Chains A and B, each alone.
Chain A
Amino acid sequence: MDFLNPVLNGFSVVLEPTNLLYCLVGVVIGMLIGVLPGLGPAATIAILLPLTYGVEPVTAIIMLAGIFYGAQYGGTITSVLLRLPGEASSVVTVFDGYQMARQGKAGTALGLAAIGSFIGGTAAIIGLTFLAPLVAGFALDFGPPEYSALAMLGILLVATISGGSKVKALIAASVGLLLATVGRDIFTGESRFTFGSLQLADGIDFVPIAMGIFGLGEILYNLEERHRAAKAPSKVSNVWPSRGDLKHASGAIGRGSVLGFFLGILPGGGATIASMASYAMEKKRAKNPERFGKGAPEGVAGPETANNAAATSSFIPLLTLGIPANATMALMFGALLIQGVTPGPQLVDQEPELFWGVVNSMYIGNILLLIMSLPLVGIFVRILRVRAAILAPITALITLLGAYTINNSMFDVTLVVVFGVVGYLMKKFGFEPGPLVLAFVLGELLESSLRRSLLVFDGDPTGFFTRPISATLLAVFVLVAVLPGIRSAIAKRKGTTAAGASATDITNNIKEKV
């Protein structure tokens, strides 16, 4: 079969010893930083970006992807054992996971989470395998107008769906868009906001911004939080859940896989929202919802499955359209660009080995993670003893060293420091850094595609509606922009929204609760 050949070739790429090794390294680092509260996958990938410079593109992305989904497994451990979510996407796991641990069922909770994560992740890879070539079939139909529409939709979704204050997210996104305008105008050669500096002629590079805001900013912010005195974690025994527990959780795992997969594809979606939505869904479906928050196994299995499925499926928009769905994917985007690979609809055809190598590496990575999460969980619990006072200076040093090596430029190091301070202040004042970084990435794409489209349309903006793909995307854009207003109007009239609502409804509900 023609379709299967590149997929199978992808396996031979993964099974090269170097790639297997980097996959292992990636998932181990992912588990580690998942366990360590504070340092998230985005920060870690930002810090390690310069490393990808020296290795093959496939190998680099396999490792970075491993960090990302590995962190979803690791984040569970501290949620269950210490009531400290290691990752934002494991926040809801705390509710029932910690209760289960107090009832002496810590092992069961971790086991369920690991099995759920494995199933969710694997299901999403299979979905990715079939969906990606489908999208890629339209590759050449994606011209400047389509990219303009996609970028607009992406920025809107990122600013409105991400957790926290919407106004603050919009402000951060605007700053990101503004930063994207720095540099020589690619249409006229005019210098914009460069202040006569040749260093800024090409604009601000994405990597120093990401390393500063996610890496250094994160480290600085964590230094402030000194409450991490190591508590004695609960004893972990019996990680293999009983047949009864599994049966109990199987529905939650199935629903979590599907929900997570679709929420992960949405721009602005991703693991955190998927886990929250799954928790809300499980609670809503349960016959006796009062069990939730008191150690319900579904409350652990559902969200943990969903966050892993979403982590995997968020690769779909990046690898097939070149549009990062969330901040971590924006970093993957940066990593691919460093490698001279532009993610987009052409990727599947032009770089089948890279595409399928990365996708198939996730099967291996998930198996490795399942092994690490079940029998080896005790080792990772011990990592919790590493003190912030040791970790922070070392990671800061690595970040700055790494920043220099990208372009051999001290200017980049200065940029990282500046954006590190910006990132720290943003977190301190409750601004999510995600919308800024994503708007920065998409802003460049939006500006150039929009201007290019208008040139092609001879200055006529109605041209966007004459092309089927861009017209559809713009219709969705309008829908997303207008829907919240309409919905609240209906809600006011009816009092409450109807049950059995769509995924976005649930997300909104949960946001009000969390």
Chain B
Amino acid sequence: MKHFPTRRAILGTASAFTLLALTACGGNVGGGAAAGNSSKYPSGPVTLTVGQAAGGSTDLIARALAEGAAKTLGSPMPVVNKPGANGALATKEVSGKPADGQELVLLTASLITITPLAVSADEAVNIDDLDIIAGLSQDDYVLVASQQSGFKSFKDVTDAGRNVTFGTTGVGTGSQLAQTVLFKQANVKGTDVPFDSGKPALTAVLGNQVELATIQLGEAMAQIEAGKVSPLLVFSEERNSFLPDVPSAKEAGYDVPVAQYRAVAAPKGTPQEVKDKLLASFQDTFKTDAYQEFNKKNLLTPKELTGEEVVTEWKGYAEKYKELVGKYDISLGGNK
């Protein structure tokens, strides 16, 4: 695909044709799914839409899953990225598509459980507008401290008795929720400094611009292993198997279970036999070595639930976060 237009480009002498030939390979992502009403499912390619940019962890998960599921389903599963509004754009678009199982979306839990706490109601996504097919995995958040801060455990932070600065991966993210709730519970005064994503937040810790930050494990691991940042807590309910020496917030005595979960969803009203077939094909994918290896490499803990389990669990978290935010009078939006 890459080489073919290039070769043409060299042969072309007029620049117009060169431009045309080169751009021809830019459009290799689309591919409309043929939506048919036949009882035979799938009727053509099954599109998996991702609300995040290509190359991010959500996108990688979608691609790893689609690669396996395309084999078990016997039909291609192209991954289409439609980034915007933290995934709300893509999710809303897919939920409006025909409920025939040809259009799926990769859903992140934070969009359902945390984002509604930060944005207005009409911008939020409701899980009841979708049929959840299967849960995928859990991506843990870890609280890290800069070297200059001298913090080696969370007890150091509470003992410091001063105002600390902490970076988050943005407004309405698990990183912000986890830290603000934790600090309220631990009675630590902190200044919340939002960054655009995990990478700049980590850089700010490395450069001692902020003392603490909560980022996803996959992003922090290299610097943790290099000893450049100290891991203080993980926010999962149990210790993370990739970081067995770091206590969970629960162990340390705090009630703040926050992690990023991901699931696959379809438009509301998708026929049961289609959902069953999809779930079965995903479950077959979960068993493959390639997919398990992918999870391990990206420090993802498998959380392969059925659709109903996902709905119950996510609704539980949404309820829990709402309660925590209300209890400690936290506003994820701006009231600073």
Query: Which residues does A use to contact B, with CB under 8 Å?
Result: 18, 21-22, 24-25, 28-29, 32-33, 36, 44, 47-48, 50-51, 53-55, 139-144, 184-191, 196, 198-199, 201-202, 339-340, 342, 346, 379, 382-383, 386, 390-391, 394-395, 398, 401-402, 404-405, 407-409, 448, 452, 455-456, 458
A152 to B87, alpha carbons, bound, how many Å?
32
Q: Does B26 lie at the interface of the complex (its beta carbon under 8 Å from any beta carbon of A)?
A: yes
Q: Which residues of B sit under 8 angstroms from A51, Cβ to Cβ?
A: 22-23, 25-26
* Contact of A53 with B82 in the complex, beta carbons under 8 Å: no
The size of the chain B interface, using a CB distance under 8 A, is 65
* Contact of B16 with A395 in the complex, beta carbons under 8 Å: yes
- Known contacts A140-B208, A187-B334; can you find 18 more A-B pairs with CB under 8 A? A25-B9, A25-B22, A28-B9, A29-B18, A144-B204, A144-B209, A186-B196, A187-B194, A188-B333, A198-B89, A340-B54, A391-B16, A398-B23, A401-B27, A402-B23, A405-B30, A408-B29, A458-B191
With known contacts A187-B334, A346-B203, A383–B196 Cβ distance under 8 A:
no
With known contacts A401-B23, A448-B196, A379–B204 Cβ distance under 8 A:
no
Report the nearest B residue to A196, measured CB to CB.
B122
* Contact of A55 with B2 in the complex, beta carbons under 8 Å: yes
Q: Which residues of B sit under 8 angstroms from A187, Cβ to Cβ?
A: 171, 194, 334, 336
Q: Which residues of A sit under 8 angstroms from B18, Cβ to Cβ?
A: 25, 28-29, 32
Instruction: Pick the residue among A191, A379, A407, A455 that contacts B82 (CB under 8 A).
Output: A407
Q: Which residues of A sit under 8 angstroms from B88, Cβ to Cβ?
A: 198, 201
* B171-224, CB < 8 A from A: 171-172, 191-196, 199-200, 203-204, 206-210
With known contacts A21-B6, A383-B14, A201–B89 Cβ distance under 8 A:
yes
Q: Does B118 lie at the interface of the complex (its beta carbon under 8 Å from any beta carbon of A)?
A: yes
* Contact of B118 with A407 in the complex, beta carbons under 8 Å: no
Instruction: Pick the residue among A143, A198, A386, A409 that contacts B15 (CB under 8 A).
Output: A386
CB of A392 to closest CB in B, whole Å = 9
Q: Which residues of B sit under 8 angstroms from A53, Cβ to Cβ?
A: 26, 29, 54
* Contact of B171 with A198 in the complex, beta carbons under 8 Å: no
A142 to B10, alpha carbons, bound, how many Å?
42
Report the nearest B residue to A379, measured CB to CB.
B13
A18 to B4, alpha carbons, bound, how many Å?
12
With known contacts A25-B6, A54-B25, A456–B209 Cβ distance under 8 A:
yes
Which 7 residue pairs are nearest across A and B when measured between Cβ atoms? Answer: A188-B334, A143-B209, A201-B85, A32-B15, A140-B207, A340-B55, A189-B118
Q: Which residues of A sit under 8 angstroms from B14, Cβ to Cβ?
A: 383, 386
* Contact of B171 with A409 in the complex, beta carbons under 8 Å: no
* B135-187, CB < 8 A from A: 163, 165, 170-172
Q: Which residues of A sit under 8 angstroms from B199, Cβ to Cβ?
A: 342
Chain B 109-138 against A: per-residue CB contact (8 Å), 1 yes, 0 no?
A: 000000000111011000000000000000
Please indicate which of the listed interface residues A50, A391, A401, A408 has the most CB atoms of chain B within 10 Å of its own CB. Answer: A408
* Contact of B210 with A456 in the complex, beta carbons under 8 Å: yes
Q: Which residues of A sit under 8 angstroms from B195, Cβ to Cβ?
A: 452
With known contacts A401-B23, A455-B165, A407–B196 Cβ distance under 8 A:
no
Instruction: Pick the residue among B23, B26, B123 that contacts A191 (CB under 8 A).
Output: B123
Q: Does B38 lie at the interface of the complex (its beta carbon under 8 Å from any beta carbon of A)?
A: no
Instruction: Pick the residue among A55, A141, A202, A386 that contacts B84 (CB under 8 A).
Output: A202
Instruction: Pick the residue among A141, A142, A201 that contacts B123 (CB under 8 A).
Output: A201
**A-B contacts, 22 listed (Cβ < 8 Å):** A48-B22, A141-B207, A143-B204, A144-B209, A185-B171, A186-B170, A187-B334, A187-B336, A188-B336, A189-B333, A196-B122, A198-B89, A201-B84, A201-B86, A202-B83, A383-B14, A386-B15, A401-B27, A405-B30, A407-B84, A455-B192, A456-B210
Report the nearest B residue to A344, measured CB to CB.
B203
* B21-63, CB < 8 A from A: 22-23, 25-30, 53-56
CB of A78 to closest CB in B, whole Å = 13
* B296-336, CB < 8 A from A: 332-336
With known contacts A201-B88, A452-B195, A455-B165, A185–B26 Cβ distance under 8 A:
no
Q: Does B240 lie at the interface of the complex (its beta carbon under 8 Å from any beta carbon of A)?
A: no
* Contact of B84 with A340 in the complex, beta carbons under 8 Å: no
A140 to B56, alpha carbons, bound, how many Å?
23
Q: Which residues of B sit under 8 angstroms from A405, Cβ to Cβ?
A: 26-27, 29-30
Q: Does B226 lie at the interface of the complex (its beta carbon under 8 Å from any beta carbon of A)?
A: no
Q: Which residues of A sit under 8 angstroms from B22, Cβ to Cβ?
A: 25, 29, 48, 51
* Contact of A408 with B80 in the complex, beta carbons under 8 Å: yes
With known contacts A29-B15, A50-B23, A198–B2 Cβ distance under 8 A:
no
A242 to B23, alpha carbons, bound, how many Å?
42
A448 to B170, alpha carbons, bound, how many Å?
11
A182 to B53, alpha carbons, bound, how many Å?
20
Q: Does B252 lie at the interface of the complex (its beta carbon under 8 Å from any beta carbon of A)?
A: no
A383 to B207, alpha carbons, bound, how many Å?
52
A40 to B204, alpha carbons, bound, how many Å?
38
* Contact of B333 with A190 in the complex, beta carbons under 8 Å: yes
Q: Does B290 lie at the interface of the complex (its beta carbon under 8 Å from any beta carbon of A)?
A: no
CB of A461 to closest CB in B, whole Å = 16
